[in-house]
Amino acid sequence: MSTPIVPTEVTKRKREDVPAEMSKLLASFASMDADAVMKQLDTSPTGLTDQVVEDRLVQHGPNEIAREKRVSPLKRLIAILSNPLSILLIVLAIITAVTGGGPGVYLILLMVVLGSALRFFQEQRSDNAAAELQKMVTTTATVVRNGDTKEVALKDIVPGDMVSLSAGDMVPADVRLVTAKDLFVSQAALTGESLPAEKNVNVVDASQTDTLTMPNLCFLGTNVETGSATAVVVQTGKETYFGSLASSIVGHREMTSFDKGINNFTWLMIKLMLVMAPAVFLINGLMRHNWMDAFLFGLAVAVGLTPEMLPMIVTVNMSKGAVDMSRKKVIVKRLNAIQNFGAMDVLCTDKTGTITQGRVELEKHVNLLGNEDGHILDMGFLNSYYQTGLKNLMDVAILAHLDKARELVEEAKYSKVDEIPFDFSRKRMSVAVTDGGGTDLFICKGAVEEVMALSTSVALDDKTSPLDDAQRAAALKLVADLNGQGFRVLALATSSSDHGTSDRVYTVNDEHDLTLLGFLAFLDPPKPTAGEAIATLHSNSVDVKILTGDSDLVTVNICHQVGITDPRVLLGPAIEKMSDDDLAGAVEDIVVFARLSPHHKERIIHALQSRGHVVGFLGDGINDAPALRTADVGISVDSAVDIAKESSDIILLENSLLILNEGVIEGRKVFGNVIKYIKMAASSNFGNMFSVVGASAFLPFLPMLPLQILTNNLLYDLSQTTIPTDTVDKEWLTKPRKWELGNLRRFIITIGPISSIFDYLTFFIMLVVFKCWNNPALFHTGWFVESLFTQTLIVHVIRTNKIPFVQSLASKPLLISSVAVVATGALMTVIGPIARILGFVTLPPLYWLLLLGMLLTYVVLTQMVKTWFIRRFGDV
């Protein structure tokens, strides 16, 4: 056989163009008849030979989609050490080592190791857990090769293979149908449509039909609900519609709101360090003419200004959040997603399987007046129960009414006489039953137009009358109204005859002169928790928007059922004509975005982000993958397709929207504790550096030795490692929290200098009261202790917007670590070997009394300024 004409190498083109190009290729096959397709692919009903299969595997590669590669431990470590703070500290450690910094080198490196190691092991553990979750089950497909039917692994399918499909099968590639019987395929993962699509072998006009709705094509990633078919494979692997979409998103990930905030804060502190450290170096060099001491002191100041524990504090907070979420059956794949949950102020969600249950239910059984009629349900049940063909989802929904089984079948009220199976040309099926009284009841169920065309009378209120034009118009209006509410509608009609014998044979010719009873209306209903979850999210200031590939009519009806009243709607075709700026202007007020392609969903996420929103996206289908990766936090479920799970940041093991609200609160707690550390460390370090600059200008010696600064900084940072255990005020959790660098900068500038007031008071006490002009060791010891005590104590003031110790008390671990650190600092000044290494001496008893007074005054003053700041500028 010759090589088939099948295009390849599409995945290198623009991401949004790839599915469009695949659509054109697939449409060309849909516009040919089955024989022409097989001829172009150089195959036949007997299938390919083993040699041809081998050649085509070499040409097209295995039938596998692109998957995101796991990060190796080495690459993960490099990425962690590439953090700006880690790089800065490593550079400072190298400079310190070259210039003879001694123990200072080890302290700096210890800070890097503590921060990086914890983050590395936590991320590696999370990645391992996610990998276990995502292991794919080996799947096979039924193919014809060398004239024989066999099962082969999906990855070994090639273009030109002849495959057999039946109920429950996953479509193994993009295929063109050759034969089909009663075939319904669920395409929800690709299109978002909740009800299965009918499929047949008829040639279509490719210019008039969207590729995904072409009835003679089936796509990789969809599955057969009912019926059977044979088909020829036209595209495999990365060349399928699904595969091209997967290839276009693997490796592409947007920087999230949290990432941007951390980076912006990091660079703020680095810029501050680049100004303050050289200033301290120059002042001390010019004042004392010992440029090496001045250089080492400047380095120590640079380290002191660096929030070196930030990566570790962030990671510990995220890890604790991940552990808490895992107890609620949620897998956190990427730690930053926990905070993004809390910052999220817009949740975009797919409809099918997320807001809805992802299954069909019989919602209404009504007569021509739109009134519920139990007799219609009875007749519909008998029709579905006694048909021997493959039952579709609507039959299953009808048969879910088990009380009817007992009433109509088990009690032998009716028994089957014959049936006329469903076919696509008639779009209906009929069953004849008897109640044993000599009369057959003939029940026909199917498409509204088909059944009404066969009906000549109508039954209302136990009376039968001719079906006139006015009643036909009223019936069609009722159906249109139901369709407008998103229902899939079937008509039900009956007739009766006196042929009450069990051997009576019915044919299509008996489908005439029917009495129209009414209609059966089906819908994918919302989840029981959806309304409550959406209301709870709204109460926590999170807007919910629905992004779906399904009909706007269906979606609006679901919105009404879950409490979203009068939603504004924007359709995919309209979005296609809008510029990015126009779309950004429209997204704020729109609640329902319907008939969307994957690219539309991605554009909507970008538009919301351009308006300053932190956006979450909840989806479980192939068509959701680009949006999942673009969102600040991508959320999927364990039952989602693999590419959706790979693209997400968080996976829900229970498909409950209520878990989302718990995640939001958990995320706000995490961010609250992260921001505590940043406020504490930055304001404290900023104030200390003001003190260092001032002291350097008038003291005849260094204000503090480099090793003492590093030790002070390390002890303070260690006291902060318990912040992740701290509680967060309930008031702080009531609204989304995201980075506000301007307000944070104001807080640092306002609160930081307060510590300098007490530093200068300490300088006065040490120089005037304790005569330290010629005793630098005593001065160093006094300032070291005061600085450590005030920094550690003020943590408890900054950690809450309330009155510390009275209205809000820190967690026990934070209280214990605070006491332990100040006790360690005090003991360092009296334990001989440690004191000698660090250059400390014993402090006089009066110092401790004066220190107590300063600490009380410091707490009161900081609380007053903090309260004023919150009233003036709001929370930070």
Among 845, 831, 872, 697, which Cα is nearest to 782's?
845
Tell me how far apart the alpha carbons of residues 638 and 660 are, in angstroms, rounded to a whole number: 14
Catalytic residue among 169, 182, 345, 350: 350
DSSP string, 473-522: HHHHHHHHHHHHTT-EEEEEEEEEES---TT----GGG--SEEEEEEEEE
Q: Measure Cα distances from 126 to 617, 705, 874 in Å.
A: 21, 42, 36
Instruction: Extract the tokens encoding 708.
Output: 């003492």
Instruction: Give φ, ψ of 171 to 5 degrees.
Output: -65, 120
Q: Which residues contact 72 (CB under 8 A, 6 or more apart)?
A: none
Q: To which H or E segment does residue 116 belong?
A: helix 103-133
Instruction: Extract the tokens encoding 330.
Output: 């949620």
Tell me how far apart the alpha carbons of residues 170 and 154 are, in angstroms, rounded to a whole number: 10
Q: Which residues contact 197 (CB under 8 A, 6 or more apart)?
A: 184, 185, 186, 187, 213, 215
Instruction: Extract the tokens encoding 72.
Output: 């190796």
Residues 507, 508, 513: CA angle, nearest 5 degrees: 110
Tell me how far apart the alpha carbons of residues 493 and 399 are, in angstroms, rounded to a whole number: 18
Tell me how far apart the alpha carbons of residues 146 and 52 are, in angstroms, rounded to a whole number: 10
Question: Is 350 known to be catalytic?
Answer: yes
User: What region does 19 belong to: left with phi over 0, alpha with psi -120 to 50, or beta?
Assistant: alpha
CB atoms within 10 A of CB 500: 16
Contact 712, 787 (CB under 8 A): yes
Tell me how far apart the alpha carbons of residues 828 and 839 are, in angstroms, rounded to a whole number: 10
Q: Which residues contact 289 (CB under 8 A, 6 or more apart)?
A: none
Tell me how far apart the alpha carbons of residues 636 and 354 are, in angstroms, rounded to a whole number: 9
Torsion of Cα atoms, 295 then 299 then 305 then 310, to 10°? 170
Q: Which sequence positions are flagged as catalytic?
A: 350
